[in-house]
Structure 1
Amino acid sequence: MTEVPPRHPHGAPCWVSLLAHSLEATQDFYSQLFGWVFESTPQPFGAYVRATLNGRAVAGVGELPRDRHMAVAWTTYFGTEDADATAELIRDCGGTVGVGPLDADDAGRMAIASDPLGAVFGIWQPLRYDGVEVMGEPGSLAWNELVTRETSMVGKFYSAVFGFEPEAVVSADFDYLTLHLAGHPVAGIHGVGQALPRDRGSHWMTYFAVADTDDAARHVVELGGHVVRAPRDSAFGRLATVADPEGAVFTVIRTAH
Structure 2
Amino acid sequence: MNQGTTDPSGATDVGVTDVGATDDVDTSSVFGAPCWVSLTSRDLDATQEFYGAVLGWRCRQARLGEHFRTALKDGIPVAGIAAVAAVGQRAAAWTPYFAVANADDAASRTRERGGTVAVGPISFPPGRAALLADRDGAAFGVWQGKLVTEWEAWRRAAPTFITLHTRDAFDAVMFYGQILDWASGRPGSCEVEYAEEAVLLRSRDAVVARIESGSVEAPPDPSVRAHWQVHFTVTDVESCARASEKHGGSVLAEGEDEAVLRDPDGAQFTVTARRLP
TM-score band by shorter chain is 0.7 to 0.9
Match of 1:191 among 213, 236, 246: 213
Structure 1 position 194, deviation (Å): 9.4
Aligned residues: 242
Q: Which has the higher contact order (CA 8 A, sep 6+)?
A: 2
More divergent stretch after superposition (19-28 vs 179-188): 179-188
Q: Deviations over 1:38-58 (max 9, x none)?
A: 1212338x7111111122110
Q: What code does the residue aligned with 1:242 have?
A: L
Q: Deviations over 1:78-129 (max 9, x none)?
A: 011211111111112221111111124x353211101111110011113473
Q: Which amino acid aligns with 1:248?
A: A
1:11-41 per-position Cα deviation (integer Å, ceiling 9, x unaligned): 1100000011111111111112222121212
1:68 deviates by 4.8
**Structure 2 residues without counterparts, runs of 5 or longer:** 1-20, 183-190
1:181-200 Cα offsets, whole Å, 9 max, x none, are 465432110113799896x8
One of 159, 167, 173 as aligned partner of 1:155: 173
Letter in 2 for 1:189: I
RMSD: 2.6
Q: Is the 8 A contact 1:108 1:129 kept in 2?
A: no
Confirm or deny: 8 A CA contact 2:35 2:99 kept in the other structure: yes
SS at match of 2:156: coil
Residue 195 of structure 2 is aligned to residue 169 of structure 1: yes
Q: TM-score, normalised by structure 2?
A: 0.79
SS state at 1:252 partner: strand
Alignment partner for residue 208 of structure 1, among 217, 232, 240? 232
- Determine what percentage of the aligned residue pairs are the same residue: 32
Quote the residue 1:73 is aligned against. Answer: 93
Matches within 5 A, 1:217-256: 217-232=241-256, 238-256=257-275
Counterparts of 2:207 and 2:267, CA distance in 1: 25
CA distance in 1, matches of 2:77, 2:32: 19
Structure 1 or 2: larger strand share? 1
1:255, CA displacement in angstroms?
Answer: 3.4
| AA matched with 1:141 | P
Amino acid paired to 2:240: A
1:213–1:182 CA distance, 2 compared to 1 (3 A): closer
Counterpart in 2 of 1:119?
Answer: 138
Structure 2 CA distance for aligned equivalents of residues 194 and 208 of structure 1: 30
1-structure distance, mates of 2:58, 2:99: 24
Q: TM-score, normalised by structure 1?
A: 0.84
* Long gaps (5+) in structure 1: 233-237
**Deviations 1:111-169 (Å, cap 9, x if unpaired)?**
110111111001111347357642234xx111111011121111111111112232222
**Matches of 2:270 and 2:38, distance apart in 1:** 14
